[in-house]
Amino acid sequence: MTHQTLPTTPFSGQRPGTSGLRKKVTVFQQPHYLENFVQALFDVLHGNDQPATGLTLVLGGDGRFHNRSAVQTILRMAAARGYARVLVGQGGILSTPAVSAVIRRHGASGGIVLSASHNPGGPDGDFGIKYNSANGGPAPEKLTEAVYARTQTLQHIATSDSADIALDTLGPQRLEDTVVEVIDPVADHAALLRELFDFDAIRALFARGFRLRFDAMWAVGGPYAKAILEGELGAPAGTVVHAEPLEDFGGLHPDPNPAYADDLIAHLIGPDAPDMGAATDGDADRNMVLGRGFLVSPSDSLAVLAAHATQVPGYRAGLAGVARSMPTSTAVDRVAKALGMPCYETPTGWKFFGNLLDAGQVTLCGEESYGTGSSHVREKDGLWAVLFWLNLVAVTGQSVEDLVRGLWREHGRCVYSRHDYDGIATEQAHTLMAELRAQLPTLAGQTFDGHGLSPGRPKTDSAPSGGSEPRAAGSVGAMTIAWADDFAYTDPVDGSLSQQQGVRVVLEDSSRVVFRLSGTGTEGATLRVYLERHEPDASRHDLPAQEALAPLIDLAQALARITHHTGMHTPTVIT
Ligand code: G16
């Protein structure tokens, strides 16, 4: 068992995206590809070739193909780096929110999450790696950019020739001078959730016959959901389906949304359907919640949780504030305004919530991409969201659908949809965005007649900075652009500036179209088009979203010339 210093050469393209470095498994399987990234990370964290003396690292992943082998590689490098202790989930497994919880509860200096989230797994699927800091949250851009820069100059990696750790055996083992402790992946996270929710009330709800179908999508959420829902809360066996984490997620796409959770949606239809449905994604940080025959949009979910938070023990004292990513609907802004609390608008990426949470300025956060969470950890948390909903249903006596309709009645409905165009050639996607950006100075005041844009009366409105106020709803027919910009965010806590975070086009009636390129894909580019329209008229709340948003969909085409640039006439995925 000796240290080894091995020569290496840089790989191009090791820049982390929205949430870590995500590539095809075959890319990660190249000799030294993972090692280079980890070496660069350790060099940035501790100083080039400096030891991590006395520090604790948390390590685990979503169990996808290549997880076990990557865990062993990283353990050897952590030992060579001189970490005092590594806490690794049994079987190499830890959900993303569990990594965050373990880092915080054990005072670790940080953690490594091995996941490509909702992206498909298996030998031809995706893999990923992400670093979370001592607060339990994704590393800020400053750090990920420094890691990327370091990957470009690396000349050697430090590792060890030690034997593999027995990942299935709980308890401490030694790897050189490092103690590797294999931990129960569920225990710390479960303990935290127990502190936040009224488990007695939820237990009583299940005892009354309330039926839930929780679809873990053959991913890492299964063991967590089974332990808590079936093990502690008395939900009948079989409540959690597709519960065993499989290396290829059963060949499915573990993304809980209307496009990929079709099996769950089908089970929630009909008179015998369960009262509530829920699903979590590959690494169990995303969630989807459904009532019987009723889909809850993630933006509405955040708004409902914010509106009723004080009915849940962990939030009884009220919320300091809320935050949403920019493309997320403004439903939560309306709730925050009514409750007199601040609402922040951040760029896409959970890492942007970290400072606000650390500074105590917000308590709940959420994103349109099926992520919701709170200050209990520094990641979005799928099971947390499901327990929050169960707690609300238990104590209010209202169904999932009642709770959402109550939100709409009070604040109007923010009709919302996201259209994804996947697999666009990267260059074409960048051309499309550049063309949009070039139009920005001339868009305010232009009107859209359903076919094309024409100059209208000039507007003086200027785009608000972060934390925009929802504008008054007005006539949809007008279709006059009030303002447009490329979202830039100045972090209110540390003053760091993030630019080019998405093109926003806002109409006079407060409707919006937002365009940005995904930062989580592994093949080509994905254009995301986010559409939102506020509907105050309750008699129109049941209009199908695509119908209610049709004029905005046409406007998006006219603005971005999507078909022209991509050759695609319809989105690949509509959520
Ligand atoms: C990640 C980030 C989220 C982001 C989502 C979509 O989620 O953590 O904050 O909203 O990607 O990002 P993009 O639109 O750039 O693809 P996850 O669940 O994939 O880690």
Fold match, 3-185 / 414-574: no
| Residue 488: CA count within 13 A, CB half-sphere | 9
Confidence of residue 470 (pLDDT cuts 50, 70, 90): very low
How much distance in Å is there from the Cα of 326 to the middle of ligand 1?
A: 13
Strands (E), 156-209: 156-160, 171-175, 178-183
What separation in angstroms does the CA of 525 have from each of 368, 500, 518, 564? 19, 16, 7, 16
To which CATH superfamily is domain 3-185 assigned? Alpha-D-Glucose-1,6-Bisphosphate, subunit A, domain 3 (3.40.120.10)
pLDDT at 149 over 90: yes
The SS3 of residue 17 is: strand
Exposed / middle / buried, residue 282 (Cβ in 10 Å: 0-12, 13-18, 19+): buried
How much distance in Å is there from the Cα of 262 to the middle of ligand 1?
A: 21
Domain ranges of the chain: 3-185, 189-411, 414-574
Mean pLDDT within 196-214: 98
Residue nearest to atom 1 of ligand 1 (CA): 19
118 lines ligand 1 (CB under 6 A): yes
Q: Please give the full DSSP string across 91-153, using - where no structure is assigned.
A: EEE--HHHHHHHHHHHT-SEEEEE--TTS--STTSEEEEEEE-TTSSBPPHHHHHHHHHHHTT
Six-digit token pair at 365? 């956060």
348 lines ligand 1 (CB under 6 A): yes
370 lines ligand 1 (CB under 6 A): no
**Does the active-site annotation cover 465?**
no
How would you classify the pairing of strands 364-367 and 322-325?
A: parallel
Mean pLDDT within 439-465: 74
575 lines ligand 1 (CB under 6 A): no
Sign, CA torsion 139/143/145/150: negative
How much distance in Å is there from the Cα of 215 to the middle of ligand 1?
A: 20
What digits encode the pLDDT tens for the residues 253-296?
A: 999 999 899 999 999 999 899 999 999 999 999 999 999 999 99
How would you classify the pairing of strands 364-367 and 371-374?
A: antiparallel
How would you classify the pairing of strands 21-24 and 525-535?
A: unpaired
Residue tagged active-site, from 100, 109, 117, 511: 117
Q: Residue 147 and residue 156: Cα distance in Å, rounded?
A: 15
Best mutation site among 15, 287, 352, 369 for ligand 1, i.e. most ligand atoms within 8 A of its Cβ?
369
Match domain 414-574 to its CATH number in 3.10.20.30, 3.40.50.410, 3.30.310.50, 3.20.20.140: 3.30.310.50
What digits encode the pLDDT tens for the residues 19-29?
A: 899 999 999 99
List the one residue out of 102, 1, 120, 26 whose CA is nearest residue 57: 102
What digits encode the pLDDT tens for the residues 117-137?
A: 999 999 999 999 999 999 999
pLDDT at 476 over 80: no
Q: Residue 211 and residue 209: Cα distance in Å, rounded?
A: 6
Q: Report yes or no: 286 and 384 within 8 Å, Cβ to Cβ.
A: no
Mean pLDDT, rounded, of the chain: 94
What pairs with residue 484 in β-bridges?
505
Q: How many residues does the chain have?
A: 575
Q: What is the pLDDT of residue 459?
A: 45
pLDDT at 458 over 80: no
List the one residue out of 346, 490, 327 whose CA is nearest residue 417: 327
Residue nearest to atom 18 of ligand 1 (CA): 117
pLDDT at 456 over 80: no
What digits encode the pLDDT tens for the residues 516-557?
A: 999 887 788 999 999 999 999 999 999 999 999 999 999 999
Q: What is the pLDDT of residue 464?
A: 43
How much distance in Å is there from the Cα of 118 to the middle of ligand 1?
A: 9
Crossing angle of helices 96-106 and 382-396, in 10° steps, is 90
Q: What is the pLDDT of residue 454?
A: 87
pTM beyond 0.75 = yes
Exposed / middle / buried, residue 72 (Cβ in 10 Å: 0-12, 13-18, 19+): middle
How much distance in Å is there from the Cα of 520 to the middle of ligand 1?
A: 6
Residue nearest to atom 13 of ligand 1 (CA): 518
The torsion defined by the Cα of 236, 242, 247 and 251, in degrees rounded to 10, comes to 180
CA–CA–CA angle 371, 374, 377 (5° rounding): 100
Q: What is the pLDDT of residue 385?
A: 98
Q: Residue 78 and residue 88: Cα distance in Å, rounded?
A: 12
Q: What is the pLDDT of residue 457?
A: 54
Mean pLDDT within 335-339: 98
519 lines ligand 1 (CB under 6 A): yes
Mean pLDDT within 38-57: 96
SS3 assignment for 194-258: HHHCCHHHHHHHHHCCCCEEEECCCCCHHHHHHHHHHHHCCCCCCCEECCCCCCCHHHCCCCCCC
To which CATH superfamily is domain 189-411 assigned? Alpha-D-Glucose-1,6-Bisphosphate, subunit A, domain 3 (3.40.120.10)
Six-digit token pair at 273? 């359907």
